[in-house]
């Protein structure tokens, strides 16, 4: 193995520069993975905006790659296997604490150290966080397992049932995976809001029955119209970031005794009137990442959906750049006038 690898690091001003750094640390029980494809997540954009110092470890958590080295005694996986990486929880989980014993790795109480992410040539994570890809899935689909699993988890955690009317505010990466997942899980109707024309077209392609704008109560009205005036059974807020309007829209669009899923990750404090949700007995559910539900990890469900050929999620990948040209990838991901939805970094 080489002693050094190429990695892209933010210099603290939002510019990603290619560096030669040490290989990631092989902590106890770790596997070594050669990175093949990494998606730029909206959270990568938010963290870049808020970062005040230069990175010392690469980021990037939507990752697919090939196993190069495995810890002694590993029998489920083999060197050369193509895998999607769960980098946040399962790939660093201690497997001993209360949450790990129940497969809730995102909440592990003794995570292994972060050894860096997918904007680099190599990564290390434990085999628990490596999910084998079938031959029918290429690297593009492999790097989409993570964002698909986010919405799979949200709908499973919220208890979505076939026949539900599902609303989704926002039609970026996570909103589109929520639309595709809800459609695949048997939603009676899926209503989505979208800010940009290319997002509207993508939402329809993912299976949204109705796609509205983001202003003026249009989304809320569409959810009521699709449900006989009641409102949607479940509404997922997928926008997040530095706005709060989408969560208020989600609450207004939900029927009495329905569920609002706080999925997008709102980064700013907000004022919210909880009296209306109380009177209408609306459950506001917060979800984060992915874990095991009913004995099956959300990554496994996401891989099955992508491998089925029935979910056109790979079509959201509008741009691909090499690791050497990652700064252009970030610039494109920021610029919605570019028509970008999902930007991938290839290796």
Which percentage of the chain shows pLDDT scores above 90? 94
Provide the pLDDT for residue 336. Answer: 82
Alpha carbons 310 and 306: distance in angstroms, whole number: 8
What is the domain partition of the chain in residue ranges? 4-132+312-346, 150-286
Does domain 4-132+312-346 correspond to CATH entry 2.40.37.10? no
Span 221-246, average pLDDT: 96
Token output for 61: 């958590």
For 184-329, list the strands marked E by DSSP. Answer: 189-193, 210-212, 232-237, 254-262, 283-286, 292-293, 296-297, 317-322
Q: Which one-letter DSSP state was computed for residue 134?
A: P
For domain 150-286, the CATH class is: alpha beta
Provide the pLDDT for residue 137. Answer: 95
Alpha carbons 15 and 207: distance in angstroms, whole number: 36
Q: pLDDT, tens digit, for every residue of 72-81? A: 999 999 999 9
Provide the pLDDT for residue 2. Answer: 84
CA dihedral 254, 260, 263, 264 (to 10 degrees): 40
> Above 90 in pLDDT, residue 216?
no
Rg over alpha carbons for the chain, rounded to the nearest Å, is: 20
Token output for 341: 């939805």
> Above 80 in pLDDT, residue 1?
no
Which percentage of the chain shows pLDDT scores above 70? 100
| C-beta of residue 232 within 8 angstroms of C-beta of residue 191 | yes
| C-beta of residue 68 within 8 angstroms of C-beta of residue 33 | yes
Span 225-241, average pLDDT: 97
> Above 80 in pLDDT, residue 112?
yes
Alpha carbons 174 and 94: distance in angstroms, whole number: 28
For 72-179, list the strands marked E by DSSP. Answer: 82-85, 122-125, 130-132, 165-169
Q: Which of 326, 159, 188 is nearest to 257 (CA)?
A: 159
Q: pLDDT, tens digit, for every residue of 127-139? A: 999 999 999 999 9
Q: Which one-letter DSSP state was computed for residue 199?
A: H
One-character DSSP codes across 47-79: HHHH--S--SS----EEEEEEEE--TT--S--T
DSSP-assigned beta bridge partners for residue 32: 69, 124
- Look at residue 345 and give its three-state secondary structure: strand
Span 98-112, average pLDDT: 97
Confidence band for 173, pLDDT divided at 50, 70 and 90: very high
């Amino acid at each position: 193995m080489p002693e050094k690898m190429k990695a892209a690091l933010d210099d603290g001003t939002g510019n990603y520069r290619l560096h030669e750094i040490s290989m990631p640390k092989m902590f106890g029980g770790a596997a070594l993975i050669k990175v093949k494809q990494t998606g730029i997540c909206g959270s990568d954009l938010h963290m870049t905006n808020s970062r005040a110092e230069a990175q010392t470890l690469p980021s990037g958590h939507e990752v697919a790659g090939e196993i190069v080295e495995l810890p002694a005694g590993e029998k489920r996986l083999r060197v050369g296997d193509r895998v999607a990486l769960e980098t946040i929880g399962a790939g660093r989980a201690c497997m001993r604490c209360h949450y790990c014993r129940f497969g809730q790795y995102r909440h592990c109480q003794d995570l292994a150290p972060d050894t860096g992410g997918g904007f680099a040539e190599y990564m290390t994570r434990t085999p628990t966080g490596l999910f084998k890809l079938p031959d029918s899935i290429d690297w593009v689909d492999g790097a989409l397992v993570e964002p698909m699993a986010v919405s799979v988890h949200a709908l499973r955690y919220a208890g979505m049932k076939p026949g539900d009317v599902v609303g989704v505010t926002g039609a970026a990466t996570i909103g589109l995976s929520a639309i595709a997942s809800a459609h695949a899980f048997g939603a009676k109707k899926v209503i989505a809001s979208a800010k940009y024309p290319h997002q509207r077209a993508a939402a329809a392609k993912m299976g949204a029955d109705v796609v509205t704008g983001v202003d003026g109560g249009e989304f809320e009205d569409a959810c009521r119209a699709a449900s006989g005036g009641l409102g949607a059974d479940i509404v997922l807020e997928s926008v997040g970031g530095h706005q709060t309007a989408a969560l208020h829209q989600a609450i207004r669009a939900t029927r009495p005794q329905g569920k609002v899923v706080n999925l997008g990750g709102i980064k700013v404090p907000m004022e919210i009137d909880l009296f209306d949700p109380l009177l209408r007995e609306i459950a506001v559910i917060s979800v984060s990442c992915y874990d095991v539900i009913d004995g099956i990890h959300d990554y496994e469900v996401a891989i099955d959906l992508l491998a089925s050929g029935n979910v056109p999620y790979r079509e959201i990948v509008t741009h691909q750049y090499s690791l050497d040209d990652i700064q252009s990838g970030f610039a494109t991901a920021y610029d919605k006038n570019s028509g970008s939805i999902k930007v991938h970094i290839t290796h």
